[in-house]
Structures are given as structure tokens and as C-alpha cells.
Amino acid sequence: MLQRLERRLIALAIGLHFFFILSVVTHLHHWMSTIAALGPITAATDYYSEVTFNNRDFGFFAPDVTSDWTIQMTLTDLSGHKRPYHFYLPNREMQVKMYSMLGHFAETEETMDLFARSWAVKAMNENLDVTQVDLEIMQNYIPTMNEYRNGRRIDPRLVYRTTFDLR
């Protein structure tokens, strides 16, 4: 009896996993997010995506084509207090634009510097009390199948770090 229940739970977990992946890859997730009644499913998919990184559209399936990048910005005000800064991305279109922009970030040293400067200026313009912006760009490393079998998982690696100081 216990083994039968265990098998069913495993089958359910596998089914949910494939549903979440397919809903992102086929863009069903975007359609579901437009229907209020499907809000709990969309929320579950978003949460699962954050944990498993399956929300990268095709980035997981073609990491050399669409690398996963993450921006981490920390603002420091006049009194030395630090706080994180996140770009306001109110809709999917803006999220795709940001994702595309990050894809061009590391093309050359010059583009990395130009992107970093413009992001820091945007943060400073929106937060007039800020005297310093620390910027880190991380790229998710996706292990090879052999590395995965040996226990390695997706991990972020520092690609770029800089500080803009107004003092």
C-alpha cells in the first residue's frame, strides 16, 4: 500500500515538473497569466521557475545561444545605508527587452562599461540620495551532463563588478 502511494506521488511530481517546463517553453504560461482564475497556477509556475531556473524560455536548452545573466545593484546613501536596486519591469515586454539587453552585455569590454554606466545613472536618477552604486553581473553556469552526474548544479558566476562613486 505504501509503495503504491509512493509511486503515485513520484508520478505526480514528474508530471508537474514536465507541465511547468512545457508551460514555459510553449509560452502557455504567458497566456495563463492573462486569466485571473488561473492565478494560483501561474504563481506556482513562477515559484517553481525561480527554484529550478526553468523560466529562461530556451536558455536552458541552448545555453550558448541565450546565456542567463543576473544584475545585482546595491545603492549606498549619504549616511552609508545600503539597499538593493531592481529595475522596474512592469510587463512581459519589458522583461524580454531587459533579457535581450543582457544578452549583449558582454560583447566587448566597452559595451560592458557603457551598460554599467547607464544602469548606474538610471539608479542614481531615481534615487537622489544615493552616493554610490555597486554593480555585479552574474552569469549562470550550466554544467555538462557529466558534471551534473557528479553533483554539480547551476551556479551563478561573477562576470563583471564595478563601483560608481559620486564622492
* Angle between helix 109-126 and 92-104 (nearest 10): 140
Residue 162: which residues within 8 A CB-CB, separation 6 or more? 113, 116, 134, 135
pLDDT digits (tens, 9 = 90+) for 13-72: 888 888 887 887 777 877 888 888 888 888 887 777 766 766 555 544 544 445 578 899
Higher pLDDT, 136 or 91: 136
**Torsion from C-alpha of 86, 87, 92, 98, nearest 10 degrees:** -110
E strand residue ranges, 96-167: 130-141, 155-165
Opening angle at CA 15, ends 11 and 17, nearest 5: 120
The full set of domain ranges for the chain reads 2-52, 69-165
Higher pLDDT, 166 or 26: 166
The pTM score is 0.57
